[in-house]
Amino acid sequence: MSAERTFSIIKPDAVAAGQAGQILAMIQEAGFKILAMRMTRLTEAQAREFYGVHSARPFFGGLVKFMTEGPIVVMALERENAIKGLREVMGATNPANAAEGTVRKRFAADIERNCIHGSDAPETAGQELRFFFSGADLL
Ligand code: ATP
Ligand code: MG
């Protein structure tokens, strides 16, 4: 098996609550290598583009507002089976349905303010990594 890359965001709720370090530790304990990482803040235009697939959904406006409310931590991660594996570490979108020991079960408030993003497929992982990182960051 070969290493796969995925993209993750520690969302504004978790950064503001001082949970970024604990979430990062959970990611590393699950065997991920951090290839690149930085703290940043999304503009409204960036948030609308990043979550563009959800632009017709009723929660889109709230999601954009949430994702721009404060700093986030963006990460390029590598592991075997990274995309599926990170989604397991994250837990279900709605923390009420998230398994014990997952990031969202431990820290998320509700289906919107759910602490962490992870790419959902190889194509989106590639797009999202390029959205935030240059090729030189990912060598
Ligand atoms: P993410 O893409 O952030 O990793 P996900 O893949 O688990 O999360 P998506 O269906 O892609 O879930 O939704 C993207 C984000 O939009 C969710 O993480 C959450 O912040 C927000 N969201 C999704 N569904 C709802 C909803 N019904 N009400 C409010 N916010 C929602
Ligand atoms: Mg998603």
**Domain range for residue 65?**
3-134
Number of domains in the chain: 1
The reply to whether 89 falls in a domain is yes
**Minimum CA distance residue for ligand 1 atom 1:** 117
Residue with tokens 């919107």: 112
pTM of the model: 0.98
Residue 139 falls inside a structural domain: no
Q: DSSP label at 100? A: T
Q: What is the CATH number of the domain that holds 16?
A: 3.30.70.141
Closest to 6 in 3D by CA, of 30, 42, 33: 33
Burial 123-135 (b: 16+ CB within 10 A, else e): ebbeebbeebbee
Per-residue pLDDT of the chain (139 residues; tens, 9 = 90+): 699 999 999 999 999 999 999 999 999 999 999 999 999 999 999 999 999 999 999 999 999 999 999 999 999 999 999 999 999 999 999 999 999 999 999 999 999 999 999 999 999 999 999 999 999 999 9
The residue annotated as part of the active site, out of 5, 11, 104, 117, is 117
Ligand 1 center to 30 CA (angstroms) = 22
